[in-house]
Amino acid sequence: MNNFPLLPPPLLSAPPDAIAFYRNTTAITYAVLRADLVAARRALIKLNAPEVVLHDDDAYTFIVWLIACWQNGQTALLAANDLPATRSFLPLPWVGHCSDSALSDWSNSAANTITDAAAFPGSAPQFDCPGMVVFTSGSSGTPTRIFKTPTQLYREAALLQQVFGDALPPDTRFVGTVPHQHMFGLPFRFIWPLWAGYPIITEPHHQPGELGRLAAEPHVLISSPAMLKRLAQMETFSPSARFLATFSAGSPLHDSVAAACEKRLTTKMIEIYGSTETACAMHRVAPGGAWNELPGVTLALDENGCLKLRSPLLPDDHWFHTKDTAVHDDNGWRLTGRADRVVKIEGRRVALDALETALLALPEVSEAHTAPLYGKRDEIVAAVVLSDAGRTQLRSLGKSRFDRWLRQRLSMSLDRIALPRRWRYVSALPYTTMGKITTADIVRLFEQHALPPFAVTTRKTNEMVLTLALRDGAQAFEGHFPELPILPGVVQIDWALRLAHRYFPIEGHFSGFRQLRFQRILFPDDEVSLTLHFFPEKKEVHFAYTSSHGTHSQGRALFTYSVVAPDNA
Amino acid sequence: MSTLIDEIKTLIIETLNLEDVTVDDIDPDAPLFVEGLGLDSIDALELGVALHKRYGLAPSEDAEEAKQYFASVRRLADYVAAHRNH
């Protein structure tokens, strides 16, 4: 272990004119890389700081700064951005192309530096001490520091090459859609190819279509489920590049996405299991393969049914406990969910991830997110984006029967208590700008006031008239004005929208009201009719509450079909 | 009997707060649990309590018997008609 090389071997052994990087179609040779590393090392030594914050949007300069830090025995803290909050959180010298950088380039030091490649790696001490710090948002949301030594990263690179390298000829180009400063992009897009001598394309490819511009050469694609999901939908996409392998990590790849990408890119889809803390621990061939350990990694289940692992990529030989639940069979491991999304429903443990996995396995479901709702009885609620097949099924069955039909399908594989009891079919899940979904945003979709008993008096394709027995739905009046029970406007709106959703095939998001008017107070003893008109072309529902006293309230509910694209998912 | 059947359907919908389910959606001869309406064991507990409150039925200690009268809304209505105390 102590004899592990402290530098990627090609940095010493590759011919000077061999290509190390492609940066905006310009080739960077090993001669240039070596000279840049020496210049960066000199600049960093002049900075005279044991720790620096590294942030650079250019992946080439980023990686040169990083390796130069390691060569000097300096520790680089990787910042995800250079926003003021991050800057004040990390009051150290900042290095790279970023705001208020203490060291934005190495060109000044390059002028008077040793440019003789033969002198590389120079005489500065190379210690294998901290080297790098990455931050992860722990379960609490507070950033946690994870220390990585260069040896850990190089060891991972060597393992990846040992497992996957046989299928990759030396001229294979590595290209990625994931950020270079994260613990999937950095080892897979940069450290591994640098270790093994594969040329690296430095620009990130943010859009699936950009992959179409790659040359007709063999490539390895380092990507994410968020990108691959979109790529899978591009049915006519046919890139000229050859993709010998495509790696994905971060969250499970839906089988249908993996299958579509495999076909679209004529590639081998490989999923990686790991975390910032553990580095790569397992891999599998998607769709549907079992997970297998990387050589040297030992996996077992702990007393909570969660995976624990020992790995040469961890800082010590102790068991590292994950929150991932899994089962083992003859072929390897199958991940079944996350223990930290395990909720108690009526005293029973329900794993939301396992439930979502089961939902996503249904052809009717494209996306799903579930949450616990604790009320009179604990229950699971589900917000679901339906596939075309699902929308067709919903239209033909109606919501109530479709809800039950989904439950029935899920009950094949899940405890009945774990089945969602409330469903919302939405055009997009409520992602935050960070690409996350919060339980609060899901639960908000389910806020409701119990409907009063009602009878349908008129039923046409796009028109319904209902008679509501307000007296019997008295709980809606509770807590409003104790001495003067009236039906709050918000409840009237809620009822109108819910009944509209029940009887009309409305798709898309509710986006707001127009001409909303509350003209007469509604009392519990009013005999009230609710008239609903659906205008599919206008994506509007008009509602009116009327009684013998006249119109109580009316308005127009608007719906949109816009899709909120999840970013960084 | 059809009034009692509708009454029990309403009781089920209200007690279990079944969303988007109307009286017309429930087939009186379809199983309440697992298939059909797809209720679960917690629903059975809640329903047992509601039947007790509304009709004075004693919660059944005999699982087999409970299974019988929970088989469908019609079975449940028969059971209620025969055993109700108020």
pLDDT in tens, A213-259: 899 999 999 998 877 877 887 777 788 999 999 999 977 787 888 99
Q: Per-residue pLDDT averaged across A39-68, rounded?
A: 92
- Residue A363 located in a structural domain: yes
- Residue A157 located in a structural domain: no
Of A377, A453, A498, the CB nearest to B42: A377
Q: Which of A392, A355, A348 is nearest to A370 (CA)?
A: A355
Instruction: Provide the pLDDT for residue A59.
Output: 95
Instruction: Provide the pLDDT for residue B15.
Output: 84
High-pLDDT (> 70) share of chain A, %: 87
Indicate the residue among A444, A479, A495 that finishes a domain: A444
Instruction: Provide the pLDDT for residue A430.
Output: 81
Distance CA A174, CA A200 (A): 5
- Residue A411 located in a structural domain: yes
Note the pLDDT tens digit of each residue in B10-58. 889 888 888 778 888 899 999 888 777 888 877 887 787 788 778 877 6
Instruction: Provide the pLDDT for residue B14.
Output: 82
Instruction: Provide the pLDDT for residue A140.
Output: 33
| Domain count for chain A | 2
Inter-CA distances, A8 with A71, A127, A291, A443, A530, Å: 11, 15, 28, 50, 73
Distance CA B1, CA A548 (A): 34
Check which CATH number belongs to the domain holding B40 and give it: 1.10.1200.10
CB neighbour burial string for A139-152, b if at least 16 within 10 angstroms, e if fewer: eeeeeeebebbbbb
Q: Please give the structure tokens belonging to residue A523.
A: 């009392």
Contacts 24+ apart (CB under 8 A), A436-441: A437/A369, A439/A371, A439/A372
Q: Which of A505, A500, A495 is nearest to A470 (CA)?
A: A495
Work out the pLDDT band at A180, boundaries 50, 70, 90: very high
Q: Which residue of A has its CA nearest to B19?
A: A422
| Domain count for chain B | 1
Check which CATH number belongs to the domain holding A440 and give it: 3.30.300.30
Greatest distance between any 2 Cα atoms in chain A: 97
3-state secondary structure of A389: helix
Q: How many CB pairs under 8 A join A and B?
A: 40
Work out the pLDDT band at A27, boundaries 50, 70, 90: very high
DSSP state of A186: I
Beta-sheet pairing, A173-176 with A320-329: unpaired
Contact A403 B17 (CB under 8 A): no
Q: φ and ψ at A85, to 5 degrees?
A: -60, -40
Distance CA A370, CA A359 (A): 10
Work out the pLDDT band at A378, boundaries 50, 70, 90: confident
Contact A416 B41 (CB under 8 A): yes
Note the pLDDT tens digit of each residue in A78-134. 987 787 777 888 889 999 988 888 898 888 664 444 443 333 344 344 444 578 888
Q: Are residues A483 and A529 in the same domain?
A: yes
Instruction: Provide the pLDDT for residue B23.
Output: 84
Instruction: Provide the pLDDT for residue A204.
Output: 84
Which domain, by its residues, includes A396? 348-444
Indicate the residue among A413, A444, A475 that finishes a domain: A444
Q: Cis check for the bond before A287: say yes or no (omega within 30 of 0).
A: yes
Distance CA A452, CA A525 (A): 13
Q: Can you tell me which residue has the tokens 């530098």?
A: A7
Instruction: Provide the pLDDT for residue A321.
Output: 93
Q: How far apart are the first and last CA of chain B?
A: 16
Radius of gyration in angstroms for the set of CA atoms belonging to chain B, rounded to a whole number:
12
Spell out which chain B residues touch chain A, with contact meaning CB-CB distance below 8 angstroms: 10, 16-17, 19-22, 25, 34-35, 37-38, 40-42, 46
What DSSP letter does each residue of A231-288 carry, written as one string? HHH-TT---SSEEEEEEEESSPPPHHHHHHHHHHTT--EEEEEEETTTEEEEEEEETT
A176 vs A443, which has greater pLDDT?
A176
Q: Are residues A462 and A542 in the same domain?
A: yes
Q: Which of A168, A173, A171 is nearest to A23 (CA)?
A: A173
Of A417, A453, A498, the CB nearest to B42: A417
Do residues A480 and A488 lie in contact, with contact meaning Cβ atoms separated by under 8 Å? yes
Q: Are residues A429 and A465 in the same domain?
A: no
Note the pLDDT tens digit of each residue in A450-475. 677 778 888 888 899 998 877 654 45
- Residue A547 located in a structural domain: yes
Q: Are residues A522 and A495 in the same domain?
A: yes
Q: Are residues A476 and A502 in the same domain?
A: yes
Q: What is the complex's ipTM, to 2 decimals?
A: 0.81
Work out the pLDDT band at A520, boundaries 50, 70, 90: confident
Check which CATH number belongs to the domain holding A525 and give it: 3.10.129.10
Mean pLDDT of chain A: 84
Q: Per-residue pLDDT averaged across A340-357, rounded?
A: 78
Q: Cis check for the bond before A121: say yes or no (omega within 30 of 0).
A: yes
3-state secondary structure of A222: strand
Distance CA A517, CA A124 (A): 77
pLDDT-wise least confident of A110-119, A293-302, A473-482: A110-119
Note the pLDDT tens digit of each residue in A408-453. 888 877 778 889 999 988 888 887 766 778 777 788 788 766 677 7
Instruction: Provide the pLDDT for residue A124.
Output: 42
Contact A403 B19 (CB under 8 A): yes
In the predicted structure, residue A142 carries a pLDDT above the cut 50: no
Q: Are residues A521 and A500 in the same domain?
A: yes
Quick one: CA dihedral A397, A401, A406, A411, positive or negative?
Answer: negative
Indicate the residue among A396, A412, A444 that finishes a domain: A444
Q: Per-residue pLDDT averaged across A350-361, rounded?
A: 86
H-type alpha helices, A48-191? 59-72, 84-89, 107-111, 150-164, 185
- On chain B, the residues whose CB falls within 8 A of the CB of A417 are 40-42
Instruction: Provide the pLDDT for residue A500.
Output: 87
- On chain A, the residues whose CB falls within 8 A of the CB of B46 are 377
Which domain, by its residues, includes B62? 2-83
Q: Are residues A472 and A538 in the same domain?
A: yes
Distance CA A56, CA A95 (A): 8
Residues in chain B, total: 86
* Cα A380–chain centre separation: 22
Instruction: Provide the pLDDT for residue B55.
Output: 86
- Residue A336 located in a structural domain: no
Q: Per-residue pLDDT averaged across A2-6, rounded?
A: 67
Instruction: Provide the pLDDT for residue B82.
Output: 87
